[in-house]
Amino acid sequence: MNQFETILYEMPAAHVARIVLNRPAARNAQDTHLLYELNDAFDLAAQDDEIKVIILAANGPHFSSGHDLMETDHKENFDAHRTVGTWCGMACGGAEPTMTRERELYLGFSERWRNLPKPTIAQVHGKCIAGGLMLVWPCDLVVASENALFQDNTVDMGVCGVEYFAHPRELGSRKAKELLFTADWLTAEEARQLGMVNQVVADDKLPDFTLSLAQRIARKPMFALRLAKEAVNAAEDAAGRQAGMMNAFNLHQLCHSHNMQVHNFPVDPGFMSKTFSSSRAFSDNSTKD
């Protein structure tokens, strides 16, 4: 069994794997190392013929505070890890390094996880902010605790939404615009009513409910599960999902380029000053992309 530093890999029941984000002190902020470990863990579960269903959960009070903006050596970490993309490394000039890194780590991984050949279930509690949505949205099903809250605060940062831009599909166009324009919180029940969340359960029932759901699914034939997932995903793609997402990703990169020209920083420095003046540990009043 592979050993991980920032996640846990568990097999809580027959035919079920559970991957647990395990940076609770950082509120499961996603640094480069965590994202590559998470991808490795998804691969491990996908390649194990005994596993039929994969649960993604998290330790600590919050599911994920998003991308770790406190990671100062992200360029070196990316060059040390990158295996998926063939674009330029972080030493190149202009917009290419940022676009390369975000295309692999954010859009690329999320798209890859969305297309894993096995059903996936996100088990969400506490706060799930910006980059945290890009762990939840690729999953096939979402089970949330009653205390779960969702937010995309990237417009505050001077960009037009997270890189894996699933907002219209998950929320509908008008609610997607409201979420982006206001950066307001979306409750678990609101998310359920919009279709983004399948089930909302009591906080203390979340792990057991999610595992029970995974076990029910795991009783089905694996090949039929795989093709049912592929059929739904193909229908979404035929409706233009991928083209819309790539357009949004390219606009996201334009925002970074604009901020570099105006502020000499890839996001709005006003947001960053508020973020870095807060405690590194995620609190109720601090956020990370």
Tell me how far apart the alpha carbons of residues 40 and 150 are, in angstroms, rounded to a whole number: 26
123 within some domain = yes
DSSP β-bridge partners for residue 54: 17, 120
Give pLDDT tens digits along the chain (289 positions). 568 999 999 999 999 999 999 999 999 999 999 999 999 999 999 999 999 999 999 999 999 999 987 776 566 666 666 655 555 666 677 888 889 889 989 999 999 999 999 999 999 999 999 999 999 999 999 999 999 999 999 999 999 999 999 999 999 999 999 999 999 999 999 999 999 999 999 999 999 999 999 999 999 999 999 999 999 999 999 999 999 999 999 999 999 999 999 999 989 988 866 665 444 443 443 444 4
283 within some domain = no
284 within some domain = no
**CATH, residue 210:** 3.90.226.10
Residue numbers of the domain that contains 139: 7-277
289 within some domain = no
- pLDDT, position 145: 98
287 within some domain = no
Q: b/e string for 86-118 if b means 16 or more Cβ within 10 A?
A: eeeebeeeeeebbbbbbbbbbbbbbbbbbebeb
Looking at the 3D structure of the chain, how many domains does it have? 1
List the strands of the sheet with 7-13, edge to edge: 7-13, 16-21, 53-58, 120-124, 141-145, 199-201
282 within some domain = no
2 within some domain = no
1 within some domain = no
